[in-house]
Copies of this chain bind each other. A is one copy, B any other.
Amino acid sequence: MLAAKPKRAVPVFDKLRVPAHYAFLYAASGKPTAMTDIAQLSKWNRDLSQAISALGTDAFFPALIAAIQGQVRFDYPQVWLYHKDLPPQVLYHEIPDNALASQVDTYLDGPYREDPFYQTSMNQPRSKFYRLSRITAGKLRETQYYRDYYADTGTVDEAIYLSRLRGSNVINVCMMRLPRHGTFTEQDYETLYLLAEPISELIKSHSEHDDFAVTHLIQPGIDHQVDLAFRTFGASLLSPREKDVLELMLRGYGTDTSADRLGIALETVRRHRKSIYRKLDVSSQTDLFSLFINSLTCLGQAAGDDPLRIYMAPSQ
């Protein structure tokens, strides 16, 4: 199925010299159908949208791989995080069990350091798409990396999409070809190159969806926000112990139950409460609760920090 593109010439098609990789748009008779044309572009956009909708979730990489496969078929899909300070990590793969050892385990034992893609990734890469033959300048077979490792993987061609992240980290989507599917054609490469920009940007965006503020500001409802408020309210002004006492107060614990919970005397809780009132400039628990509720309006701007900071300085 991987070599599904028709090889025989289509008379009218040849005459027009439309690129070979659009050949599938035309019926065998040589007469193109408008719906087939639209359908193919529609497929790319539809698959791409699937990937976009999966941003920030575990389903993103499978969707991205499927979108690429929808344009050019390849073997052993794998997504690697090349970390500046750590060994490479597989974020996702579709490698069959019988090839897993050589593709991942053996690779990680050491050869990855000589991998031309890894070296390129770690040295300020400028492009978002690389072909193995180009970066090795046709000299792959002369390398130690080839003799010791690559020759045993059984692959005959390889290319990657590369996405540079913050902190000089890189995520690569690795695409290979086995002998029975043959090397990538020039048309394959042309198409893959064409898709490099959106793919690279999507991967970068995906990596930024793990940001704590996004996760905790979007995902949960008000209850999470309130929980966050319990933990952050007053943190910029109070001592750690005072924060403990305050959080219990806010959660409805009385003085005696707070003392039990913290394993301290009732009088100590009282002493902390007095300090809390003084530092937050209130004179009763009613005032305190009111301040807390009003500070909820500043949670967004505080972004995980103490909302009182914003509340007390509204002119920012």
Could you tell me the dominant secondary structure of chain A's interface residues?
Answer: helix
Among listed A141-149, A151-159, A170-178, A287-295, interface-contacting one: A287-295
Q: Which residues of B contact A22 (CB under 8 A)?
A: 37
A34 within 8 Å of B by Cβ? Answer: yes
A169 within 8 Å of B by Cβ? Answer: no
Q: Size range of the interface on A?
A: 35 or more
A166 within 8 Å of B by Cβ? Answer: yes
B16–A202 CB distance below 8 A: no
B209–A297 CB distance below 8 A: no
**Which residues in chain A, 194-235, are within 8 Å of chain B measured between CB atoms?**
194-195, 197-198, 200-202, 204-205, 208-211, 213-215, 217-219, 221-223, 225-226
Q: Which residues of B contact A34 (CB under 8 A)?
A: 17-19
Q: Distance (Å) between the CB of A293 and the closest chain B CB? A: 6
Q: Which residues of B contact A17 (CB under 8 A)?
A: 31-32, 34
Closest to A227 in B: B297
B226–A297 CB distance below 8 A: yes
A94 within 8 Å of B by Cβ? Answer: no
Jot down 27 A-B pairs with beta carbons below 8 A, ordered by A: A12-B16, A17-B32, A19-B38, A45-B195, A46-B197, A53-B204, A55-B205, A205-B205, A208-B214, A210-B211, A210-B303, A213-B214, A213-B217, A214-B300, A214-B303, A215-B300, A217-B218, A218-B299, A221-B222, A221-B300, A222-B299, A254-B284, A285-B285, A286-B289, A289-B289, A292-B293, A293-B293
